[in-house]
Amino acid sequence: MKGPWMAEISVVVNGRSYRLACDDGEEEHLEELASYLDTQVKDIEKHFGKVGDTRLLVMAGLTVADRLYESLSKIEDLHDQLKILQDSKRGAMERSRSEEKELALKLDAAAERLERLGKQLAG
């Protein structure tokens, strides 16, 4: 049953019209999804011919699911790579801060020596 916040649209997949309900504002997105599924169905039908509506839709659904699975795997891999890069950056920054402190100590020591030398030369 359609609620007061639901919109109703008609989409076409494999030459058949379907009435669907969706949240208000989601109509265009649902139409795009149906168009994408219809494209997959047509592509499969070109390769395999008429194999029956149910089988055709299952094959298209599996094709879309496979692409989704691959995309999710790539996103997960990219997330892992990002974490490695962030950890590497954090480590590099820590090393940089440590080296800056070490360099500052060496510069302070050199300045003290120069002051002592300056006093010795003046005195």
Is the pTM above the cut of 0.75?
A: no
Both tokens assigned to 117 = 């030398």
Question: DSSP for the chain?
Answer: ---TTEEEEEEEETTEEEEEEEETT-HHHHHHHHHHHHHHHHHHHHHH----HHHHHHHHHHHHHHHHHHHHHHHHHHHHHHHHHHHHHHHHHHHHHHHHHHHHHHHHHHHHHHHHHHHHHH-
Predicted confidence (pLDDT) per residue in 82-91, tens digit:
999 999 999 9
Both tokens assigned to 31 = 């139409």
Reported confidence tier of residue 46, pLDDT bands at 50, 70, 90: very high
Reported confidence tier of residue 2, pLDDT bands at 50, 70, 90: low
Spell out a b/e string for 5-19, using b for 16 or more CB atoms within 10 Å of the CB, else e.
Answer: eeeeeebebbeeeee
